[in-house]
Amino acid sequence: MPTITRLIQGKKNPNRVNLYLDDEFAFALSIDEVAKQGLKKGLELSDSQIESLKVNDETEYVYAKLLNFLSYRPRTVKEVRDRLYKYDVKEVSKQDILIDKLKSKGYLDDTAFARWFIESRNTHRPRSKRYLSAELSAKGISKDIIQAVSGTIGDESETIRGLLDKKLGLPHKLEAPEKKKIIGYLARQGFAWDKISEVVKNWESE
Protein backbone atom coordinates (compact mmCIF):
# COMPACT_ATOMS: atom_id res chain seq x y z
CA MET A 1 0.00 0.00 0.00
CA PRO A 2 1.19 3.57 -0.61
CA THR A 3 3.00 5.10 2.33
CA ILE A 4 2.95 8.71 3.51
CA THR A 5 6.49 9.99 3.10
CA ARG A 6 6.00 13.73 3.61
CA LEU A 7 3.44 16.15 5.03
CA ILE A 8 4.29 19.73 4.09
CA GLN A 9 2.34 22.82 5.13
CA GLY A 10 1.15 24.85 2.14
CA LYS A 11 2.96 28.09 1.35
CA LYS A 12 0.03 29.94 -0.23
CA ASN A 13 -2.49 28.53 2.23
CA PRO A 14 -0.96 27.56 5.58
CA ASN A 15 -4.22 25.86 6.55
CA ARG A 16 -3.57 23.21 3.90
CA VAL A 17 -1.14 20.32 4.02
CA ASN A 18 0.46 18.74 0.94
CA LEU A 19 0.53 14.98 1.31
CA TYR A 20 3.17 12.87 -0.45
CA LEU A 21 2.79 9.15 -1.04
CA ASP A 22 5.95 7.20 -1.86
CA ASP A 23 7.79 10.52 -2.34
CA GLU A 24 5.29 11.82 -4.91
CA PHE A 25 2.74 14.55 -4.32
CA ALA A 26 -0.71 12.95 -4.03
CA PHE A 27 -3.17 15.60 -2.85
CA ALA A 28 -3.72 18.34 -0.28
CA LEU A 29 -5.86 18.27 2.84
CA SER A 30 -6.85 20.75 5.52
CA ILE A 31 -4.78 20.77 8.70
CA ASP A 32 -7.92 19.86 10.64
CA GLU A 33 -8.52 16.78 8.48
CA VAL A 34 -4.90 15.67 8.84
CA ALA A 35 -5.20 15.90 12.61
CA LYS A 36 -8.63 14.31 12.68
CA GLN A 37 -7.48 11.30 10.63
CA GLY A 38 -4.20 10.97 12.51
CA LEU A 39 -2.16 11.14 9.32
CA LYS A 40 1.61 11.02 9.79
CA LYS A 41 4.81 10.04 8.03
CA GLY A 42 5.16 6.29 7.61
CA LEU A 43 1.43 5.57 7.68
CA GLU A 44 0.19 3.26 4.95
CA LEU A 45 -3.06 4.11 3.17
CA SER A 46 -5.28 1.79 1.19
CA ASP A 47 -6.82 2.90 -2.10
CA SER A 48 -10.23 3.18 -0.41
CA GLN A 49 -8.77 5.35 2.36
CA ILE A 50 -7.12 7.63 -0.17
CA GLU A 51 -10.35 8.01 -2.13
CA SER A 52 -12.29 8.68 1.08
CA LEU A 53 -9.82 11.39 2.12
CA LYS A 54 -10.11 13.07 -1.27
CA VAL A 55 -13.91 12.99 -1.26
CA ASN A 56 -14.14 14.30 2.31
CA ASP A 57 -11.72 17.11 1.55
CA GLU A 58 -13.61 18.09 -1.59
CA THR A 59 -16.84 18.16 0.41
CA GLU A 60 -15.32 20.35 3.12
CA TYR A 61 -13.82 22.66 0.51
CA VAL A 62 -17.16 23.16 -1.21
CA TYR A 63 -18.89 23.56 2.16
CA ALA A 64 -16.52 26.42 3.04
CA LYS A 65 -17.33 28.09 -0.29
CA LEU A 66 -21.04 27.74 0.44
CA LEU A 67 -20.61 29.38 3.84
CA ASN A 68 -19.00 32.33 2.08
CA PHE A 69 -21.86 32.38 -0.45
CA LEU A 70 -24.37 32.47 2.41
CA SER A 71 -22.51 35.18 4.32
CA TYR A 72 -23.72 38.01 2.08
CA ARG A 73 -27.47 37.44 2.50
CA PRO A 74 -29.97 34.62 3.15
CA ARG A 75 -30.35 32.10 0.33
CA THR A 76 -32.90 29.50 -0.72
CA VAL A 77 -32.25 25.80 -1.18
CA LYS A 78 -32.69 26.33 -4.93
CA GLU A 79 -30.06 29.07 -4.96
CA VAL A 80 -27.63 26.78 -3.14
CA ARG A 81 -28.31 23.93 -5.58
CA ASP A 82 -27.69 26.30 -8.49
CA ARG A 83 -24.44 27.41 -6.87
CA LEU A 84 -23.35 23.80 -6.29
CA TYR A 85 -23.91 23.12 -9.97
CA LYS A 86 -21.51 25.98 -10.74
CA TYR A 87 -19.04 24.38 -8.32
CA ASP A 88 -19.34 21.24 -10.48
CA VAL A 89 -21.19 19.34 -7.76
CA LYS A 90 -23.91 17.94 -9.99
CA GLU A 91 -24.86 14.73 -8.24
CA VAL A 92 -28.08 15.28 -6.28
CA SER A 93 -26.93 12.92 -3.53
CA LYS A 94 -23.78 15.00 -2.93
CA GLN A 95 -25.81 18.21 -3.04
CA ASP A 96 -28.21 16.76 -0.47
CA ILE A 97 -25.38 15.98 1.95
CA LEU A 98 -24.15 19.58 1.87
CA ILE A 99 -27.65 21.07 1.98
CA ASP A 100 -28.66 18.89 4.93
CA LYS A 101 -25.53 19.97 6.78
CA LEU A 102 -26.31 23.65 6.16
CA LYS A 103 -29.88 23.12 7.33
CA SER A 104 -28.78 21.32 10.50
CA LYS A 105 -26.50 24.24 11.35
CA GLY A 106 -29.28 26.76 10.76
CA TYR A 107 -27.57 28.35 7.76
CA LEU A 108 -30.26 27.39 5.25
CA ASP A 109 -34.00 27.78 5.86
CA ASP A 110 -36.52 28.55 3.10
CA THR A 111 -39.14 29.77 5.58
CA ALA A 112 -36.70 32.19 7.21
CA PHE A 113 -35.63 33.35 3.74
CA ALA A 114 -39.23 34.02 2.72
CA ARG A 115 -39.85 36.13 5.84
CA TRP A 116 -36.61 38.05 5.28
CA PHE A 117 -37.42 38.63 1.61
CA ILE A 118 -40.91 39.94 2.34
CA GLU A 119 -39.65 42.24 5.08
CA SER A 120 -36.95 43.59 2.77
CA ARG A 121 -39.44 44.20 -0.03
CA ASN A 122 -41.97 45.83 2.31
CA THR A 123 -39.27 48.18 3.58
CA HIS A 124 -37.46 49.09 0.38
CA ARG A 125 -39.49 48.03 -2.65
CA PRO A 126 -43.16 47.39 -1.77
CA ARG A 127 -44.94 44.95 -4.05
CA SER A 128 -48.36 43.32 -4.29
CA LYS A 129 -49.01 39.97 -2.67
CA ARG A 130 -49.28 38.39 -6.12
CA TYR A 131 -45.98 39.90 -7.24
CA LEU A 132 -44.17 38.86 -4.06
CA SER A 133 -45.56 35.35 -4.26
CA ALA A 134 -44.32 35.06 -7.85
CA GLU A 135 -40.87 36.28 -6.86
CA LEU A 136 -40.65 33.78 -4.01
CA SER A 137 -41.85 30.98 -6.27
CA ALA A 138 -39.17 31.86 -8.83
CA LYS A 139 -36.57 31.53 -6.07
CA GLY A 140 -37.74 28.00 -5.35
CA ILE A 141 -39.94 28.67 -2.31
CA SER A 142 -42.77 26.14 -2.09
CA LYS A 143 -46.44 27.11 -2.22
CA ASP A 144 -46.93 25.85 1.35
CA ILE A 145 -44.23 28.16 2.69
CA ILE A 146 -45.51 31.11 0.66
CA GLN A 147 -48.98 30.51 2.06
CA ALA A 148 -47.60 30.24 5.59
CA VAL A 149 -45.76 33.59 5.43
CA SER A 150 -48.28 35.48 3.28
CA GLY A 151 -49.73 37.12 6.38
CA THR A 152 -46.56 39.17 6.78
CA ILE A 153 -46.93 40.81 3.37
CA GLY A 154 -49.30 43.45 4.71
CA ASP A 155 -52.52 45.09 3.59
CA GLU A 156 -52.37 46.04 -0.09
CA SER A 157 -54.49 49.15 0.34
CA GLU A 158 -52.05 50.48 2.92
CA THR A 159 -49.12 49.57 0.70
CA ILE A 160 -50.60 51.43 -2.27
CA ARG A 161 -51.40 54.40 -0.04
CA GLY A 162 -47.81 54.48 1.17
CA LEU A 163 -46.51 54.45 -2.39
CA LEU A 164 -48.85 57.29 -3.35
CA ASP A 165 -47.61 59.39 -0.44
CA LYS A 166 -44.00 58.59 -1.30
CA LYS A 167 -44.35 59.36 -5.00
CA LEU A 168 -46.84 62.25 -4.96
CA GLY A 169 -46.64 63.87 -1.55
CA LEU A 170 -49.83 65.22 0.03
CA PRO A 171 -53.20 64.06 -1.37
CA HIS A 172 -54.51 66.19 -4.23
CA LYS A 173 -56.62 65.96 -7.35
CA LEU A 174 -54.58 64.26 -10.05
CA GLU A 175 -54.44 65.54 -13.58
CA ALA A 176 -54.94 62.91 -16.29
CA PRO A 177 -51.23 62.53 -17.25
CA GLU A 178 -50.14 62.28 -13.61
CA LYS A 179 -52.89 59.80 -12.80
CA LYS A 180 -52.05 57.64 -15.81
CA LYS A 181 -48.39 57.59 -14.81
CA ILE A 182 -48.96 56.63 -11.17
CA ILE A 183 -51.56 54.00 -12.03
CA GLY A 184 -49.16 52.48 -14.54
CA TYR A 185 -46.42 52.43 -11.91
CA LEU A 186 -48.67 50.73 -9.35
CA ALA A 187 -49.81 48.18 -11.92
CA ARG A 188 -46.18 47.29 -12.62
CA GLN A 189 -45.79 46.50 -8.93
CA GLY A 190 -48.45 43.82 -9.38
CA PHE A 191 -51.48 45.50 -7.83
CA ALA A 192 -54.91 44.84 -9.33
CA TRP A 193 -56.56 47.62 -11.32
CA ASP A 194 -59.70 47.71 -9.18
CA LYS A 195 -57.65 48.00 -5.97
CA ILE A 196 -55.49 50.74 -7.49
CA SER A 197 -58.53 52.71 -8.65
CA GLU A 198 -60.21 52.43 -5.25
CA VAL A 199 -57.18 53.61 -3.26
CA VAL A 200 -56.28 56.38 -5.71
CA LYS A 201 -59.86 57.69 -5.62
CA ASN A 202 -59.90 57.71 -1.83
CA TRP A 203 -56.46 59.34 -1.74
CA GLU A 204 -57.55 62.12 -4.09
CA SER A 205 -60.65 62.85 -2.03
CA GLU A 206 -58.81 63.42 1.25
Q: Tell me the pLDDT tens digit for each residue of 134-160.
A: 999 999 999 999 999 988 888 899 999
SS3 category, 203: helix
Average pLDDT over residues 79-103: 94
Residue 60 pLDDT greater than 90, yes or no: no
Residue 10 pLDDT greater than 90, yes or no: no
Residue 58 pLDDT greater than 90, yes or no: no
State the chain's mean pLDDT as an integer.
Answer: 92
Residue 79 pLDDT greater than 90, yes or no: yes
Above pLDDT 90, what percent of the chain?
75
DSSP string for residues in 97-161: HHHHHHHHTTS--HHHHHHHHHHHHHHHS---HHHHHHHHHHTT--HHHHHHHGGGS--HHHHHH
Alpha-carbon distances of 166 from 159, 173, 182, rounded to whole Å = 11, 16, 11
Residue 204 pLDDT greater than 90, yes or no: no
Above pLDDT 70, what percent of the chain?
100
Average pLDDT over residues 1-20: 90
Average pLDDT over residues 4-32: 90
Q: Does the model's pTM come out above 0.85?
A: no
Q: Tell me, what's the pLDDT at 15? A: 86
Average pLDDT over residues 16-43: 91
